[in-house]
Structure 1
């Protein structure tokens, strides 16, 4: 699993879930909504495809956590609100999918 295979996900997580995201937003969903507001539907669709690819790999929770936090620079401790990384990623994917379809 290489970061180069997930460039759009990397941009989303690293740029929006940076170390100071909690100073700018009240919740993780607010961060997601900000990315949606700032992005064209084609960008959202790319992130959804990359999330789908990541989920299809059926990696362990530890591998998911390592990939999201260490390799993507995501500073969101999703396990405080979600059962696991896959649950959170599916949630983000749904929000992005709904937004990109509403743009059409």
Structure 2
């Protein structure tokens, strides 16, 4: 599992969940909504596909955390609000998928 296989996820996490995201947004969902508002449908669809591919790998929570935070530069401590990384990623996938479906 390498970040090269997940370029959209890398861009999303690094650009939107950067170290100062809490200065710009009130919640993680607000970050996702900002990404949705600023992105074309094809970009949203790519992100959903990559998230779904990552989830299909059924990696452990430790691997998920390492992948999201260390390899992708995500600065969101999702475990404070979500059961685990998979639950949070599923949530993000649903929000983004619903938005891309509404654009069609």
TM-score range, shorter chain: over 0.9
Aligned residues: 104
Q: What's the TM-score once normalised by structure 2's chain length?
A: 0.99
Deviation by residue 1:37-81 (Cα, 9 ceiling, x = unmatched) = 000111010000000110011100000000000000000000000
Cα deviation for residue 34 of structure 1 reads 0.2
SS for the counterpart of 1:58 is coil
- Which residue in 2 is equivalent to 1:75? 75
Q: How does 1:7-18 map to 2 (within 5 A)?
A: 7-18=7-18
- RMSD over aligned CA atoms reads 0.3
After TM superposition, the runs of 4+ consecutive aligned structure 1 residues lying more than 3 A away are: none
- Which residue in 1 is equivalent to 2:101? 101
- Which residue in 1 is equivalent to 2:29? 29
Gaps (5+ residues) in structure 1?
none
Q: How does 1:51-90 map to 2 (within 5 A)?
A: 51-90=51-90
Cα deviation for residue 102 of structure 1 reads 0.4
Q: What's the TM-score once normalised by structure 1's chain length?
A: 0.99
Cα deviation for residue 100 of structure 1 reads 0.2
